[in-house]
Chain A
Amino acid sequence: MIQVTLETREGWQVAVVAGRADAEAADDLESALRTAIDQHPKVAADFRSLDYISSAGLRAVLQAARAARLRGGEFAVCALSDPVRKVFTMSGMHHVLRIYGELPC
């Protein structure tokens, strides 16, 4: 189960993501992030309330970031929860994504 809420703050579209980003939720997550990317040139995904991310969830985030770059937009991942940070670190996601400790806005 995943919940994505979109908010506009100081020039950024913030996607607040809560729950579990697993195979069941990956399509919904990618779709919500892509919607934000389609609507705004600067998108930040706030992961402080994301409890778990699987390989399917990571792929969804990566493909959203890809879509943002293809559009010439900005996509940042912010405020990772501890379990999600562990997965990001193990996968080396910092090599391909912009990851912030806190929201840029």
Chain B
Amino acid sequence: MLEEVVLLAVDEKTGGLRSMREFGTAYALVGAVFFDLSLARRIDTGTEEIRIVDRTPTGNATLDRVLAEMAGKPHLTTVRQWIEEIFLRRDDLEGQALASLIRQGILRHELSKRLWIIDVERFPLVNNVPQQHVKVRLAQAILSDAIPDTRDIILVSIAEPCGLLGYILSGVELAARRQRIQTLCNLETISRKVTAAIAGLDANLHHGVTRMM
């Protein structure tokens, strides 16, 4: 899921990362890690709590590092606590997913200068098929009334809170399917907590701005 979220954020025309430095997408990346661990049957979640069910490494360095960290901090027991904990390492998640996509020949890394000083990183698509595949799956999950595959439910539920669905469907389509999107997002505990974390951050930012005025 982590690589699929990053892939969705790549602008297919410029290779720029859309919203990647905004907290919404950062929280989505954190959610994606926990979904990956859950789909690998290493963790499980209830309505609030999260627990390790299998400490065996998955073979994915990012997931295994998070899993080891979870095993070492048994006092953190809720999904929300772990989202906030791993949020602190969000840049690592993004970098590792990008590196993996480059290794797989899906993206390439370009470094240039703006105004001769500022480094500008871009990640143009070398192979656009995986990104198209993810977009088609998302569109089908939202526009159809069928029960989607688990991975597609999860993908919708983490693409929505960080605003990535706007790059896949038109505003009219998203408005018409608002209820469907909410239904899919609500099915998963991790997604509900990611959405709550983003809402909490927005509220804090708004509070900070109001106090400054």
Please report A residues at the B interface, Cβ cutoff 8 Å: 22-24, 26, 52, 54-56, 58-59, 62-63, 65-66, 69-70, 86-87, 90-93, 95-96
- In Å, the complex CA distance between A6 and B148 comes to 26
Instruction: Determine whether the beta carbon of A59 is less than 8 Å from that of B190.
Output: no
Please report B residues at the A interface, Cβ cutoff 8 Å: 38, 41, 43-47, 53-54, 146-150, 153, 183, 186-190
Instruction: Determine whether the beta carbon of B38 is less than 8 Å from that of A55.
Output: yes
Residues of chain B within 8 A (CB-CB) of A92 are: 183, 186-187
Instruction: Determine whether the beta carbon of B41 is less than 8 Å from that of A56.
Output: yes
The verdict on A90 contacting B153 (CB below 8 Å), with A58-B187, A62-B187, A66-B147 known, is no
- In Å, the complex CA distance between A66 and B187 comes to 14
- Least Cβ distance of B163 to chain A in Å? 22
- In Å, the complex CA distance between A69 and B147 comes to 8
- Least Cβ distance of B151 to chain A in Å? 10
The verdict on A91 contacting B187 (CB below 8 Å), with A22-B53, A65-B147, A96-B147 known, is yes
- In Å, the complex CA distance between A95 and B189 comes to 16
Can you pick out 15 interface pairs between chain A and chain B where the beta carbons lie within 8 Å of each other?
A23-B41, A54-B46, A55-B46, A55-B190, A56-B44, A58-B187, A62-B150, A63-B149, A63-B150, A66-B147, A69-B146, A87-B47, A95-B183, A95-B186, A96-B187
Closest chain B residue, CB of each to CB of A54: B44
- In Å, the complex CA distance between A69 and B146 comes to 8
Residues of chain A within 8 A (CB-CB) of B46 are: 52, 54-55, 87
- Least Cβ distance of A56 to chain B in Å? 5
Instruction: Determine whether the beta carbon of B149 is less than 8 Å from that of A66.
Output: yes
